Amino acid sequence: MQVYHWTKNNRFRKQQQKEDDTIMATADIHVAEGTHHEDHHDHEQSFVTKYIFSQDHKTIAKQFLITGIFWALMGGMMSLVFRLQLGFPEASLEWLRPFFGDWITESGKLDPEFYLAMVTMHGTIMVFFVLTAGLSGTFSNFLIPLQIGARDMASGFMNMLSYWFFFLSSVVMFISLFIETGPASGGWVIYPPLSALPQAMSGSGLGMTMWLIAMVFFIVSTMLGGINYITTIINLRTRGMSFTRLPLTIWAFFLTAIIGVLSFPVLVAAVLLLIFDRSFGTSFYLSDIYIGGEALPNSGGSPILFQHLFWFLGHPEVYIVILPALGITSEIISTNSRKPIFGYRAMIGSLMGIAILSFVVWAHHMFVTGMNPFLGSVFMLLTLIIAVPSAVKVFNYLTTLWKGNIIYTPGMLFSIGLVSFFITGGVTGIFLGNAALDIQLHDTYFVVAHFHIVMGSAAFFGMVAGVYHWFPKMFGRMMDARLGYIHFWMSFVGIYSVFFPMHYIGIAGFPRRYYSFTNFDAFNSYTDLNALITIASFITMVAQFVFLFNFFYSIFRGRKAPQNPWNSNTLEWTAPIHPGHGNWPGEIPTVYRWPYDYSKPGAKEDFIPQNIPFSETPESNLPSETESIKLEGLDNGDAIIVDDAKE
Amino acid sequence: MTNLVLIVGGILVLTVIIALVRVSSLVSVARKERTKVDRGSNRINGALLLIFLIVSGLVTIWYSTATFETYNLPLASEHGAVTDRLFWITVAVTGFIFILTNILLFYFSFRYQYKAEKRAYFFPDNNKLEIIWTIVPAIVLTLLVFSGLRAWNDITAKAPNDSEVIEVMGYQFAWATRYPGKDDKLGDYNYRLIDAENLFGVDFSDRNAHDDFIPRELHLPKGKPVLFKIRARDVLHSVFAPHFRLKMDAVPGMPTQFWFVPTKTTQEMRVETGNEDFNYEIACTEICGKGHFSMRLLVIVDEPEDYEKWKAEQQPWLAKNPGYISKIPEEMRELAMINAGISLDEK
């Protein structure tokens, strides 16, 4: 038993071997208690345990995905409602009365408070329910066990709870849309005192309470999921799957989960204190307030405190949203360029850099809140540093495409779209991170354009790219590529037409969250551009129905998927087309190489999956890899250590 | 009835789409074209990416130049000249990166499309390249950061001692302003004293408050430093004066401030913009409720001498609201009346 490096990771592997190396050795600790052993056919399960309270990571991933799609539709529709108001302020919205009832005023206009409610719920739903739960929940759950070679998550039960807490949160949030005083309306950042005082606006009543309760459930869900992802990645990698052989998707999910676990609890604290202020008369955020004809007794609190707490989560949150998308596209771009991702280690390094820096930039949202200007200087410096790892990622993507052999699957198109968004939205971040420029641009449409492109649209494209790419693994069928192309082009052009013009509107100083601009001489222009944006947003929304149709149609009637439709290297494609509970019948494959051996010189095919030993590919091995062949048979997979030793 | 027609129509359209998709996928299976890479659609998508680059690039250049006047707000403050310059420098720097990387992205996508006989170039890493594109952005950003820091420090520095101090207060849903009056000192306030009359909660037991006046519009002197003392009465608001490149939140319980120097009078601006009706305005940029979009305050910048004249014409708030005198503590009343310029007989 010879070992070059006795790492933690290997120690775990050793233990496994002692456990007589049977099929289940790797992961039977967690393959749902009560159903396991012997083999991995789908066991007799009732409908409820199989589809509803399932502990199988693949089913849970699909649950997250479907719920995410539902919320994406809701959030998208809401944006159309307020875009109608902004694009066509004169038009009568009487026809929406059947849906919105009294929120349409007697003159056939949208109620201004309802407008704010729509804006608020759109933000909340998109950021948390779609791009956090829908994105991480779907792909972390689905891909982590399949790509690292595990039977399931570390704790299937916690994983199930994670989904059901999300569901509970969704139900509470959904119900809040229908209450008489309306849902939360103080913006998705729910700054007090507006959100703390029911007398300040009607949405700050019951709607706000439900928002807060829903968020607490949501955070519980995120924590349960995050802890599970981290544990699984650290402990359940298959033989040979060292950290330097993890696909970038897994690296991204791993770091995302760490960010989430460290930052979401702070939001719980912020939310709890707000609940106290709202319901129990404390003064954490309230001081010196005269409202509704009376002076409130609260004193000594600080609204700025809430902003610090909120953005301590809120800023990492945008990286929680974008990192998984970047991981997904790294994988898809490499696969479909038939080229290794350029600078694998630099990609990991920049992901880590972004993850760490994401914790020390939060106050760039607060330059003009009256915060000490010195803090502003510090956060400006830190914020602009984060542009460096982001730039590295972009250049690496570009170099990956260079001299590639690019195949345009819909997933690939969406990934290229993501890179374009990441650039476009990234450069405007350099304006906003600069405190001196932020004075003018803060809370204008420039900000709206910036984060919708770099975070919203980019992450959304990452999510859609992932759906197209892994749909065959999820449902054993292919999505229709042509509808995918239509979906891509309508969305890509549509999204740019919606958000690019907003930069001009923002530079002209138009504030965000305005129901109408007619009160101001300075903002009494751009009616044409606003109308154009609204039309473009409708077109973009129509494109999503093309996707929806394609998605549900293909689940049942799509072309049957081959084993490895994209000729990809990663482990999930070695599992059966319809992986059962436990993912691989028989032994989990051993990993011998990194996941990006595409178009390796000398190789027969233009891809070499991770589970192919170097002894089978003498024609393409690099000198150090030839060395490691000697070790392959020796100790069941410890050959991988040579690769580590090389570093 | 129309609903029924719509529903039936919708179902029909859906059925047609389903049928079309089904046929097209069956045809492609029959042709076996999908087993290999679909060269046709690959070429179309590659070409479309290049076309997108060119068309959107041209539209952007055209729109940015043709409508420059619309989105480039006229400027009327000293620090604004600095931040505007910084803004356009940043536009140039990031614009260069933006154009370069987008061109590379779409050009590579077009240029390196799949060819069955071709192999991609195996190029897993290159440390020299990584170092270059770590260090170059780092240097560029450092330069931007330091010019930004200098501007930020100047803007947020302590206001000059001779500043005109003006209080700006936001409440649902309007702004109100208070001037210190002849003694150049703003009187104290206490939010518990706020009522329907006393909007600011001015504390008239402070003698500095007696001559404070509360005008309808905000007047500013051209060429003199002005210090806004900003507060909010109920929820967060944010003072945004776009032409002065000025923004600062109004926070209940935590007064904030912002100082600046207006550089053009309203009249000068009317001439410059060719707009007879031009007016400076203050808007709210922090969501504050139903009327958020309607919190407008008119701002008028005068020549210094006109400003002084206007100030001299203003009556102290107390003089305008003599009824309030009864609420002032007994021993202060007489002093208050003298300070406010109310003749004692009127009592």
Which percentage of chain A shows pLDDT scores above 90?
Answer: 79
Task: Check residue A25 and give its pLDDT.
Answer: 38
Q: B-contacting residues of A 87-126, CB under 8 Å?
A: 112-113, 116
Task: Check residue B16 and give its pLDDT.
Answer: 80
Q: B226-232 and B256-260 as β-strands: parallel, antiparallel, unpaired? A: antiparallel
A458: containing domain? 52-557
A3 pLDDT above the threshold of 70: no
Task: Check residue A634 and give its pLDDT.
Answer: 55
Task: Check residue B21 and give its pLDDT.
Answer: 73
B145 belongs to a structural domain:
no
A22 belongs to a structural domain:
no
B318: containing domain? 164-346
A38 pLDDT above the threshold of 70: no
Domains: count for chain B: 1
Optimal mutation site among B3, B28, B31, B251, interface A, most CBs of chain A within 10 A: B251
Three-class DSSP category at A150: coil
Q: What is the dihedral angle through the alpha carbons of B56, B61, B65, B68, rounded to the nearest 10 degrees?
A: 50
The DSSP H or E segment spanning B18 is helix B2-31
How many angstroms separate the CA of residue A368 from the nearest CA in chain B?
5
Q: B218-221 and B174-178 as β-strands: parallel, antiparallel, unpaired? A: unpaired
Pick the range with the lowest mean pLDDT from A97-101, A495-499, B148-152, B186-190: A97-101
Three-class DSSP category at A57: helix
CA distance A639 to A592: 8
A567 belongs to a structural domain:
no
User: Under a CB-based contact definition with an 8 Å cutoff, are residues A383 and A364 in contact?
Assistant: yes
Q: Do B98 and A526 touch (CB under 8 A)?
A: no
pLDDT in tens, A578-636: 998 899 998 999 999 999 999 999 888 889 999 999 988 888 888 888 877 877 765 55
pLDDT band for position B1 (50/70/90)?
low
Three-class DSSP category at B228: strand
Q: B164-171 and B174-178 as β-strands: parallel, antiparallel, unpaired? A: antiparallel
For residue A553, which phi and psi values (nearest 5 degrees)?
Answer: -60, -45
Looking at residue A153, which CATH number applies to its domain? Answer: 1.20.210.10
User: Which chain A residue shows the shortest CA-CA distance from B93?
Assistant: A427
Chain B residues with CB-CB distance to A289 below 8 A: 191, 233-235, 252-253
CA distance B16 to B29: 20
Q: Do A370 and B25 touch (CB under 8 A)?
A: no
Task: Check residue A631 and give its pLDDT.
Answer: 74
A46 belongs to a structural domain:
no
pLDDT in tens, A491-509: 999 999 999 999 999 999 9
pLDDT in tens, A77-86: 999 999 999 9
B2 belongs to a structural domain:
no
A327 pLDDT above the threshold of 90: yes
Residues 6+ apart with CB under 8 A from A195: A184, A186, A204, A208, A274
Which percentage of chain A shows pLDDT scores above 70?
Answer: 91
pLDDT in tens, A53-63: 899 999 999 99
Interface residue A565 vs chain B (CB under 8 A): no
> Position A317: which residue type?
E
A483 pLDDT above the threshold of 80: yes
CA distance B172 to A113: 13
Optimal mutation site among B122, B168, B231, B282, interface A, most CBs of chain A within 10 A: B122
pLDDT band for position B36 (50/70/90)?
low
Q: B-contacting residues of A 539-558, CB under 8 Å?
A: 549-550, 553, 557-558
Interface residue B34 vs chain A (CB under 8 A): yes
Chain B residues with CB-CB distance to A122 below 8 A: none
Mean pLDDT, to the nearest integer, of B212-234?
Answer: 94
Mean pLDDT, to the nearest integer, of B47-68?
Answer: 94
pLDDT in tens, A355-376: 999 999 999 999 999 899 999 9
B227 belongs to a structural domain:
yes
Q: Enumerate long-range contacts of A33-42, CB under 8 Å, 24 or more apart.
A: A33/A157, A35/A581, A36/A582, A39/A585, A40/A151, A40/A580, A40/A581, A40/A582, A40/A583, A40/A584, A40/A585, A40/A586, A41/A580, A41/A585, A42/A580, A42/A581
Query: Which residue do the tokens 């809370």 mark?
Result: A443
Q: A-contacting residues of B 91-130, CB under 8 Å?
A: 93-95, 97-98, 101-102, 104-106, 108-109, 112-115, 118-126, 129-130
Task: Check residue A39 and give its pLDDT.
Answer: 45
Three-class DSSP category at A628: helix
A616 belongs to a structural domain:
no
Q: Do A598 and B120 touch (CB under 8 A)?
A: yes
pLDDT band for position A41 (50/70/90)?
very low
A213 pLDDT above the threshold of 50: yes
pLDDT in tens, B89-106: 999 999 999 999 999 999
> Among B37, B72, B94, whose Cβ lies nearest the Cβ of A427?
B94
A86 belongs to a structural domain:
yes
A34 belongs to a structural domain:
no
Interface residue B81 vs chain A (CB under 8 A): no
> Among A302, A384, A442, whose Cβ lies nearest the Cβ of B254?
A302
CA distance B281 to B298: 5
How many angstroms separate the CA of residue A9 from the nearest CA in chain B?
25
Q: What ipTM did this prediction achieve?
A: 0.92
User: Which chain B residue shows the shortest CA-CA distance from A504?
Assistant: B71
Task: Check residue B163 and give its pLDDT.
Answer: 93
Q: Do B37 and A368 touch (CB under 8 A)?
A: no
Chain A residues with CB-CB distance to B24 below 8 A: 480, 482
Task: Check residue A572 and give its pLDDT.
Answer: 94
Chain B residues with CB-CB distance to A553 below 8 A: 18, 21
Q: A-contacting residues of B 174-213, CB under 8 Å?
A: 191-192, 194, 196, 201
- Positive or negative CA dihedral for A17, A18, A21, A26? negative
pLDDT band for position A10 (50/70/90)?
very low
Measure Cα distances from B12 to B6, B9, B18, B242 in Å: 10, 5, 10, 52
Measuring CA to CA, which residue among B335, B344, B346, B343 is closest to residue B183? B335
> Position A393: which residue type?
K
pLDDT in tens, A222-249: 999 999 999 999 999 999 999 999 999 9
How many angstroms separate the CA of residue B345 from the nearest CA in chain A?
34
Determine the length of chain B: 347
Pick the range with the lowest mean pLDDT from A24-33, A71-80, A424-433, B32-41: A24-33
The DSSP H or E segment spanning A467 is helix A458-475
Q: Do B141 and A340 touch (CB under 8 A)?
A: no
Task: Check residue B235 and give its pLDDT.
Answer: 94
> Among B108, B138, B141, whose Cβ lies nearest the Cβ of A398?
B108
B33 pLDDT above the threshold of 60: no
Optimal mutation site among B234, B244, B258, B269, interface A, most CBs of chain A within 10 A: B234
Chain B residues with CB-CB distance to A114 below 8 A: none
A608 belongs to a structural domain:
no
Task: Check residue A135 and give its pLDDT.
Answer: 95
Residue with the bigger pLDDT between A557 and B2: it is A557
CA distance A632 to A645: 15
User: Under a CB-based contact definition with an 8 Å cutoff, are residues A236 and A295 in contact?
Assistant: no
Mean pLDDT, to the nearest integer, of A210-221?
Answer: 96
Looking at residue B308, which CATH number applies to its domain? Answer: 2.60.40.420
Task: Check residue A627 and give its pLDDT.
Answer: 79
The per-residue pLDDT of chain A, averaged, comes to: 89
CA distance A332 to B77: 50
Q: A-contacting residues of B 301-330, CB under 8 Å?
A: none
For residue B282, which phi and psi values (nearest 5 degrees)?
Answer: -115, 135
Mean pLDDT, to the nearest integer, of B283-288?
Answer: 95
A428 pLDDT above the threshold of 90: yes
A228 belongs to a structural domain:
yes
Q: Classify residue A19 as exposed, middle or buried by CB count within 10 Å of its CB (0-12, 13-18, 19+).
A: exposed
Interface residue A398 vs chain B (CB under 8 A): yes
Measuring CA to CA, which residue among B276, B265, B275, B274 is closest to residue B306? B265
pLDDT band for position A446 (50/70/90)?
very high
Task: Check residue A46 and give its pLDDT.
Answer: 79
Question: How many CB pairs below 8 A link A and B?
Answer: 354
User: To 5 degrees, how large is the angle CA A373–CA A376–CA A378?
Assistant: 120
Interface residue A346 vs chain B (CB under 8 A): yes
> Position A565: which residue type?
P
How many angstroms separate the CA of residue A126 from the nearest CA in chain B?
19
The DSSP H or E segment spanning B19 is helix B2-31
Listing DSSP states for B50-61 in one string gives: HHHHHHHHHHHH
Domains: count for chain A: 1
* Cis peptide preceding B110, ω within 30 of 0: no
B233 belongs to a structural domain:
yes
Task: Check residue B23 and give its pLDDT.
Answer: 77
In DSSP terms, B238 is beta-bridged to: B249
